[in-house]
Amino acid sequence: MQPETYQNLLAHGAAVNLSTRSKWKLSGEDRVRYLNGQVTHDVRRADECHAIYACVTNVKGRIMGDVMIHARQEALWLDAEPDLRDALGMRLEKYIVADDVELTDVTDEWQLWHIMGPKAGEGLQSLRFGIPGVDVWLPAGEGFGPTLPILSLEEVERLRIIHQVPRWPNELGGETFPPEAGLEERAMDFSKGCYIGQEILSRIKTTGKMPRKLQSWQTEREICVGTSLHDAHGNEIGVVTSAARHPLSGKLIVLGFIKCGCGPAMEFAS
């Protein structure tokens, strides 16, 4: 992403085609109650103008996937990372027993665009890359010509890193609790009732104890994803999960998990 592209985005906005993401339609009278038992956020907060973000966790409270949830009058619409299509679809299907719910994979039937920045206007509001925006769902094959510049997926990946937004599978995965990734405010509701993994996550909320925590910092050095992080004594305390150069400062923005109770990372080793 060039400096002028980033500045123009902040001043005027931009669009990105997210149609490769996995997508599902959840219909039926029990859809809200059912999904509330599967995700970390309160599904009742989603409406026709506001999407919500949530994690799907296992019984141990660790992340199996993350989703954006949109509400329309007749159904809930979910989207997630492309490589979660099979695994997350099966995970959600697994717990549909006697519920009046039908989960339909609509990945290939719908396209998804995201318009972000001050020009976004009203619509399915969501926060995907650290900048407010709106989601536009359109039937596959229907034309869509945004008047704003269109960013590539590589450019928005850089955008989410410099805005410190965790992503599957870099920061979010089967070994991660949502609070470790800093998702308590954005993706969790502790008063909505029970869901799979809720007991463990409520205990973390109460005790404040986590194995590690996602942190962000800037450096002039060139550091690769997967690089081990060490403290001043040479002890390994974490790992780099994402890194990208800031288009304006030129500094490397690094995301990584560091063990709780440790000081800042002082050294890096491949």
List the domain boundaries for the chain.
Answer: 3-162, 211-270
Q: Can you give the pTM of this predicted structure?
A: 0.92
Fold of 3-162: Gyrase A; domain 2 (3.30.1360)
Residues composing the chain: 270
pLDDT tens digits, one per residue of 54-100: 999 999 999 999 999 999 989 999 999 999 999 999 999 999 988 99
Q: Sheet of 75-80: strands edge to edge?
A: 52-57, 63-72, 75-80, 22-27, 102-105
Do 187 and 40 form a contact (C-beta atoms < 8 A)? yes
Helix, strand or coil for residue 36? helix
What is the DSSP secondary-structure string of 87-122?
HHHHHHHHT-SSSS-EEEE-TTTEEEEEEESTT--S
What CATH number should be reported for the domain whose range is 211-270?
A: 2.40.30.110
- Peptide bond preceding 139 in cis form (omega within 30 of 0): no
pLDDT tens digits, one per residue of 25-59: 999 999 999 999 999 999 999 988 889 999 999 99
pLDDT tens digits, one per residue of 96-117: 988 999 999 999 999 999 999 8
